[in-house]
Amino acid sequence: MTYKVMKKNVMKAIAAGKRLDSRELFEQREIEVKFGVSNKAEGSVSVKMGKTEVVCGIKMGVAEPYTDHENEGTMMTSLELTPMSSPDFEYGQPSIQAVETARIIDRGIRESGFIDFKKLCIKEGEKVWSIFIDLATINDDGNLIDAGALAALLALRVARFPVYDEKKEKIEFGEFTDKKLPLNVDKMPVTLTFFKIGDSLFFDPTREEEDACDGRLTMEISKPGKEEMINAMQKGGEACLTIDDVEKMVEEGTKAHKKLSNLIETEVEKAEKSEKHGKKK
Amino acid sequence: MAYTKRFDGRKLDELRPIQAKVGVIPNADGSALFGQGDTIAIAAVYGPKILNPKHQQNPEKGVLRVHYNMLSFSVGERIKPGVSRRSQEISKVTEWALTPLVMLDELPGTVIDIHINILQANAGTRCAGINAAAMALAHAGIPMKEMISAVAIGSMGGTITTDISKEEEDYEEDGEKAATDIPMTFLSNSEKITLLQLDGAIPAKKLKEALEAGKEACKKINEYQKKALKEYK
């Protein structure tokens, strides 16, 4: 019953253009980034959006390429919705929520051309690098798609290749090179999920807000040149959208894209500075 | 070079040849086949029936369950039979696409199972599956608010193109992938969108044009669906 009451409250507030936590409809919660949450990973980060926290670790492997892309490396994105992070998550087979969220995050990164897969080729048709983007929830207070996608980008940006012993054909895990992953930084996609309740749209929901919603549309936006490009979209939930709804999301999405990509650049720059500083010692 | 001439000679807003047929699976409560060019989907509806186990029932409204499956021989290189991450996702987005049009409030405690199988795949399988499923729901006599049609619109290096084929999905310009695939659905009366996905790269400003093209294409598809339902004896 709490749920129905909560839905009513959320609906009332959003219809009046407000949020339960007094934010604007298109206002992000505070974002907190912390790199290096695991020194075993090739790159790692924790991202907090308000009370939501997601961690991402990049692991590298060497594998055979796919037969239809013999000179390209591979990438796999997975997400664990840990029971530790919410009473709603359970152990066992990955739920459809986990599978879908990971696939949405994967699609934006893949389709934007952010990773230069050809540069991950070691020996054509035989050996390529594979990138594993592994995400896990620490605390779920809504908007896991956007938080997860942001964590994935940040972790990729700071990741370094591990040492690879050509003779033994073995990765020396724990020993890192200075070599960054081959990324096209100008093509970096930012993920934004818009939610619909009644006829109103907004983004970055808390868990209560998200559960009250009728549906969502995720957009992954990059800006490789002068204009914004959409690299991936996914509608979720039973809501019906109008063409005008989608137009509004494009408008707000391009605005938010700018803010978020600035935040990423600032954080990555800070991380790289402190890394250099650390080495001088 | 801009994509002005389509590989199969169609006009930019032209659909592939459509085949639509109702009542292809005698055991099912409702069934249909829908083909767009070389893509062929069959759908079967079973229900409404009592949902078991009982704790899964919703006392307020019925439940719609979609099972999308690509048959292992429907593509070039054989795919492993069974559930994949891709098919799980497509089942879920199809479920979300179809749920708003079924009057589930009238069917508390029940479940409607929709099984979609792809016989032959040449891009746009989830759309063909939805088109078939909508016809199968109507054929089963399930109370529906309106009909639904689905189509994949492409942006071929910026050129908006209707109902793209596999060859078009793989279209390249200067050795780079240049096709964007945008599957979408429109409801027949309210003209609302219940499924929308995209992968590739399309200028944000072009999205509206793609949606308008999808709306027009769905109107045409809806005519084929209605005709097949009327012709069924």
Partners of B189 on chain A (C-beta within 8 Å) are none
Q: Is the pLDDT of residue A279 over 80?
A: no
Residues B155-173: pLDDT tens digits? 999 999 999 999 999 999 9
Which chain A residues contact residue B79 at CB under 8 A?
Answer: none
- Residue B199 pLDDT > 90: yes
Q: Dig out the tokens for B192 from the structure.
A: 């609302």
With CA atoms as reference, report the closest residue to A171 among A59, A64, A36, A279: A59
**DSSP of B50-66:** E-SSGGG--SSS-EEEE
SS3 of B149-189: the string is EEEEEEEECCEEEECCCHHHHCCEECCEECEEEEEEEEECC
Our CA-based measurement puts residue B125 at a distance from the nearest CA of chain A, in whole angstroms, of 16
Question: Tell me: the pLDDT tens digits for B9-22?
Answer: 999 999 999 999 99
Residues in chain B with CB shorter than 8 Å from the CB of A224 are: 201
pLDDT at site A28? 96
* Averaged pLDDT of chain A: 93
pLDDT given for residue B32 in this prediction: 97
Give the separation between CA A29 and CA A31, rounded to whole angstroms. 6
Among chain A residues, CA nearest to B201: A231
Q: Note the pLDDT tens digit of each residue in A17-43.
A: 999 899 999 999 999 999 999 888 999
pLDDT of residue A173: 87
The more confidently predicted of residues B233 and B134 is B134
Q: What per-residue confidence (pLDDT) applies to A169?
A: 86
Within 8 A by CB and 6+ apart from A90, the residues are A83
Q: Which of A103, A113, A238 sits opposite B96 (nearest CB)?
A: A238
Q: Looking at the predicted structure, is the pLDDT value of residue A272 above 70? A: yes
pLDDT at A280: 41
- Candidates A232, A249, A258, A261; CA nearest to A106 is A232
Task: Mention the CATH class of domain A2-280.
Answer: alpha beta
Asked if B184 contacts B196 with a C-beta cutoff of 8 angstroms, the reply is yes
Q: What is the nearest CA distance from B218 to chain A, expressed in angstroms?
A: 14
Contact residues of B toward A, CB < 8 A:
77, 85-86, 88-89, 92-93, 96, 99-100, 182, 187, 190-205, 207-208, 211-212, 215
Amino acid at A6: M
Q: What is the chain A residue with the closest CA to B179?
A: A111
| pLDDT value at residue A39 | 87
Answer positive or negative: Cα dihedral of B133, B134, B140, B145: positive
CA atoms lying within 13 Å on the CB side of residue A13: 20
* pLDDT > 60? residue A281: no
CA closest to B204 among chain A residues: A229
Token digits of residue B133: 């499923």
C-alpha distance from B93 to closest chain A C-alpha (Å):
7
Q: How far is CA A176 from CA A130, A180, B61, B82, in A?
A: 16, 10, 56, 40
CATH, domain B18-231, list 3.40.720.10, 3.30.230.70, 1.20.140.10, 3.60.20.10: 3.30.230.70
Q: How many CB atoms lie within 10 A of CB B108?
A: 15
Peptide bond into B48 cis (omega under 30): yes
pLDDT at A1: 42
Instruction: Tell me the pLDDT tens digit for each residue of A209-245.
Output: 999 999 999 999 999 999 999 999 999 999 999 999 9
- Contact assignment for B99 to A238 by CB distance below 8 Å: yes
**Domain coordinates in residue numbering, chain B:** 18-231
CA atoms within 13 A on the CB side of A78: 11
Tell which wins on pLDDT, A152 or B79.
A152
Question: Whole-model pTM?
Answer: 0.89
> A257 to chain B: nearest residue by CA?
B204
What are the E-state strand segments in chain A? 31-35, 43-49, 52-63, 74-80, 121-123, 127-139, 160-165, 170-180, 190-197, 200-203, 215-222, 229-237
Q: Is B96 exposed, middle or buried (0-12, 13-18, 19+ CB in 10 A)?
A: buried
What are the angstrom distances between the C-alpha of A111 and each of A249, B99, B198? 20, 29, 10
Name the minimum distance, in Å, from the CA of A231 to any CA of chain B: 4
Q: Do A234 and B92 touch (CB under 8 A)?
A: no
Dihedral sign, Cα of residue B157, residue B163, residue B168, residue B169: positive
Tokens of A241: 């959208």
List chain A residues with CB under 8 Å of B77: 67
